[in-house]
Amino acid sequence: MKYEQLNYEKFKTQEAAKLSVIDYLAFYNGRRSHSTLGYQSPIEFEREFYRNAV
Protein backbone atom coordinates (compact mmCIF):
# COMPACT_ATOMS: atom_id res chain seq x y z
CA MET A 1 0.00 0.00 0.00
CA LYS A 2 2.79 2.41 0.83
CA TYR A 3 4.36 1.99 -2.59
CA GLU A 4 1.12 1.88 -4.60
CA GLN A 5 -0.86 4.60 -2.86
CA LEU A 6 0.88 6.76 -0.33
CA ASN A 7 4.13 7.49 -2.14
CA TYR A 8 2.36 9.13 -5.10
CA GLU A 9 -0.07 11.40 -3.33
CA LYS A 10 0.40 14.45 -1.12
CA PHE A 11 -2.43 15.00 1.31
CA LYS A 12 -3.51 18.40 2.56
CA THR A 13 -5.11 17.03 5.72
CA GLN A 14 -4.95 13.95 7.88
CA GLU A 15 -8.62 13.31 7.07
CA ALA A 16 -7.83 13.24 3.34
CA ALA A 17 -5.10 10.68 4.00
CA LYS A 18 -7.47 8.51 6.04
CA LEU A 19 -10.12 8.58 3.30
CA SER A 20 -7.53 7.66 0.70
CA VAL A 21 -6.43 4.67 2.76
CA ILE A 22 -10.05 3.54 3.25
CA ASP A 23 -10.71 3.80 -0.51
CA TYR A 24 -7.56 1.86 -1.31
CA LEU A 25 -8.35 -0.91 1.17
CA ALA A 26 -11.89 -1.21 -0.21
CA PHE A 27 -10.40 -1.71 -3.67
CA TYR A 28 -7.60 -4.03 -2.55
CA ASN A 29 -9.77 -6.26 -0.39
CA GLY A 30 -13.04 -6.08 -2.31
CA ARG A 31 -12.50 -5.65 -6.02
CA ARG A 32 -8.91 -6.70 -6.71
CA SER A 33 -8.52 -10.25 -8.02
CA HIS A 34 -6.87 -12.75 -5.68
CA SER A 35 -4.96 -15.84 -6.77
CA THR A 36 -6.39 -17.93 -3.91
CA LEU A 37 -9.90 -17.25 -5.26
CA GLY A 38 -9.06 -18.34 -8.79
CA TYR A 39 -8.15 -14.78 -9.80
CA GLN A 40 -11.60 -13.48 -8.95
CA SER A 41 -12.36 -10.57 -6.71
CA PRO A 42 -13.93 -11.44 -3.36
CA ILE A 43 -17.19 -9.91 -4.59
CA GLU A 44 -17.19 -12.10 -7.73
CA PHE A 45 -16.27 -15.16 -5.69
CA GLU A 46 -19.11 -14.56 -3.24
CA ARG A 47 -21.66 -14.03 -6.03
CA GLU A 48 -20.63 -17.27 -7.71
CA PHE A 49 -20.62 -19.15 -4.41
CA TYR A 50 -24.21 -18.16 -3.60
CA ARG A 51 -25.35 -18.69 -7.18
CA ASN A 52 -24.05 -22.29 -7.04
CA ALA A 53 -25.31 -22.97 -3.51
CA VAL A 54 -28.94 -23.22 -4.60
Rounded to an integer, what distance in angstroms lies between the CA atom of residue 29 and that of residue 15?
Answer: 21
8 Å CB contact between 20 and 11: yes
| pLDDT score for 4 | 65
Residues 6+ positions from 48 with CB-CB distance below 8 Å: 40
| pLDDT score for 21 | 87
8 Å CB contact between 36 and 47: no
Query: Which tens digits make up the pLDDT trace of 6-54?
Result: 677 888 999 998 998 898 888 877 788 889 999 998 889 999 999 998 7
In a 3-state reduction of DSSP, which class is residue 39?
A: coil
| pLDDT score for 3 | 66
More confident residue, 1 or 22: 22
For the entire predicted model, the pTM comes to 0.56
